[in-house]
Chain A
Amino acid sequence: MSYQIIGHDGRTYGPATAEQVREWISQGRAIRQTPVLPAGATCWSVLGLLPEFAPLFSNPPPFAPTTPPPGVPPGVTPGPLPTSSLATAGLVFGIISLLCCCCCGGFPFNILGLIFSLIALVQISEHPDRYSGRPQAIVGIVLSAASFLIFLASIASDHSQVILNSHNF
């Protein structure tokens, strides 16, 4: 079996063996969306759609298909659902706001964490068949909210001129 692919420069490469195409993928010369023409095929496809190369692209596609591909019985999802990027972002901002309570009360990060995690929760509950990541979103909300409460409390105590200890960093 040999394959022709179209490289990033728009030129056609090959025919190449499957082994060589795998090497190109591992070297970052070909990606999921790279057009490919298997020998004997009548029309072009992309590498991510060929069963012999699809397992090499471990990351889930950015837009999961809303309907399962033909051959998969309805109700059976092929593989784990991709984690919502918003949920991951919410968790990241939550962790950053936890670390940054030391310098800035976690200020911009706890707001961002709250926004991202809340949108992620809505997104996940609206499309439970397309996204996972509810734990990430919930932990993101908890961390951001805790950090935001500390931030609010510190502002309040600054205003009431209660400075417990002025020599701590």
Chain B
Amino acid sequence: MFSSSAVPPRIKPAGLAWWTAGLLALSALPLAAIIFCFNPATHSFYPVCQFHQLTGWNCPSCGATRGLYALLHGHLLTALRDNALLVAALVLLPLRGVWWLRNNSAGAAGSFFPAVWLWPLLAGLLVFGVLRNLPAFAFLSPA
């Protein structure tokens, strides 16, 4: 009935996503090197959180730089204490990356971060931002 050998070419080359992921990972290296070498708790050239400086409260990303420093030095518990969301993101993002790349090479088109995920993400950020400033959840704030 039909000639089975002729298959139309892929519209987006499958390898492109892998190159993008590799370039992103490479560009994060110098940043990680700076944070690894200079402790954010003792070096003042790092940007200061405007929200924290104004209000004294911790914003959802407060402690992320210190957490990254702790993580790069292998102190997982300190990193969790500094910013648990950072650790969660660093676990979840690569997982999503692998999942997405596998979908992508199987041809299932889809965005890396579907727009409907924005709502749970925002809710999570706000809940985390409020909780970590309550005395009962002080363990969510940097020591």
| Interface of chain A: mostly helix, strand, loop or mixed | mixed
B122 in the interface (beta carbon within 8 A): yes
Q: Hey, which chain A residues are within 8 Å of B56, CB to CB? A: 164-165
- Tell whether, in the assembled complex, residue B2 and residue A102 are in contact, meaning their CB atoms are under 8 Å apart: no
- Tell whether, in the assembled complex, residue A164 and residue B54 are in contact, meaning their CB atoms are under 8 Å apart: yes
- Tell whether, in the assembled complex, residue A91 and residue B118 are in contact, meaning their CB atoms are under 8 Å apart: yes
Number of residues in A with C-beta < 8 Å to the partner?
46
| Interface of chain B: mostly helix, strand, loop or mixed | loop
With CB as the reference atom, state the residue of chain B lying closest to A168. Answer: B52
Q: Hey, which chain B residues are within 8 Å of A143, CB to CB? A: 122
- B residues with a Cβ closer than 8 A to A are 1-2, 6-12, 14, 40-41, 46-54, 56, 59-66, 106-109, 115, 118, 121-122, 125
Expressed in whole angstroms, the minimum distance between the Cβ of B53 and any Cβ of chain A is 6
Q: Known pairs A8-B11, A95-B118, A98-B125. 11 more at Cβ < 8 A?
A: A17-B2, A24-B8, A27-B107, A83-B115, A101-B49, A101-B50, A101-B51, A102-B49, A102-B64, A143-B122, A168-B62
* Among candidates A2, A30, A100, A157, residue contacting B1 with C-beta atoms closer than 8 Å: A2
CA distance in complex: A100, B14 (Å):
33
CA distance in complex: A28, B99 (Å):
17
- Tell whether, in the assembled complex, residue B118 and residue A17 are in contact, meaning their CB atoms are under 8 Å apart: no
